[in-house]
Amino acid sequence: MTQLSVNVNKIALLRNQRDLDIPSVVNLSRVCLAAGAVGITVHPRPDQRHIRPGDVWDLAELTAQAGAEFNIEGNPFSGPSGSYPGFMEIVRRVRPTQCTLVPDNPEQSTSDHGWDVKENTERLGPIVAELQSLGSRVSLFVDPDPSQMSHAAAINADRVELYTEPYARAFTEGRVEEAYAKYAIAAAAASVAGLGLNAGHDLNLRNLAKFVTIPGVLEVSIGHALIAEALEMGLDATVRAYVDILSSDQ
């Protein structure tokens, strides 16, 4: 069964519009876990526009108490900035279950491409080794490019996370079969390379069921669409709807 990790960045983004602790990132993360999510994902950025370091500490405590997965994603080369201690300092303190490395920069509104692992081998290799020494599973955010998989395996990454926004866009535009085939080929290459497979970005209740028929998808991390759907359906019901999709025969 493919597992669900709920990205709670958008909850923090809404909270940050006011100097109040509502909505509560911790309380709503607790709702997600109670509804069947196996974990919580956060992406603490240097500009702290959504998840803040304090949220990371609080969620580390919550997930530890719940026996749930904690996935921290971000750019390992993001250094200290004001009260932001730097990405690697955050994960060194928390030692999350999984660390997903993403090549974003402060100017991006959201992650919009994966690593060129071959070009970044010398930079990423030591980071992967350090994170694994902390006890964290390491996943690299990549485009659906089969050529990247052997390079990810060469630096001993545990998993890759396929960037799925192009799949979601193709689904909406009525050309999903072409995109699906591309992702299936990339997934097969990951399997051949001995990598576990995650996926995320713009997956939703409409397009998820088809995507997870791709063999080997271990985990999906979903935030923006899930929170948007929860505005209509309620958070508990929305998470349960995702879990139902992932629990069905694939």
Answer yes or no: 151 catalytic: no
Q: What is the per-residue pLDDT for 107? A: 63
Residue 68 has pLDDT above 60, yes or no: yes
Answer yes or no: 50 catalytic: no
Tokens of 36: 């069947």
Which candidate, 132, 112, 83, places its Cα nearest to that of 202? 112
Fold of 3-247: TIM Barrel (3.20.20)
Beta-carbon contacts of residue 61 (< 8 Å; ≥ 6 apart): none
E strand spans, the chain: 3-7, 39-42, 69-74, 98-101, 137-142, 159-163, 196-200, 217-222
Q: What is the per-residue pLDDT for 111? A: 64
| 8 A C-beta contact, residue 41 and residue 12 | no
Annotated active-site residue in 50, 151, 161, 201: 201
Annotated active-site residue in 50, 69, 73, 151: 73
Peptide bond before residue 126 is cis, with ω within 30 degrees of 0 = no
Distance, CA of 173 to CA of 18 (rounded, Å): 37
Domain range list for the chain: 3-247
The pTM for the full model equals 0.95
Instruction: Compute the average pLDDT of residues 106-127.
Output: 85
Answer yes or no: 73 catalytic: yes
Which candidate, 205, 222, 148, places its Cα nearest to that of 171? 205
Annotated active-site residue in 43, 151, 161, 229: 43
Q: Which residues pair with 55 in a beta bridge?
A: none
Tell me if residue 228 falls in helix, strand or coil.
helix
Instruction: Compute the average pLDDT of residues 91-108.
Output: 90
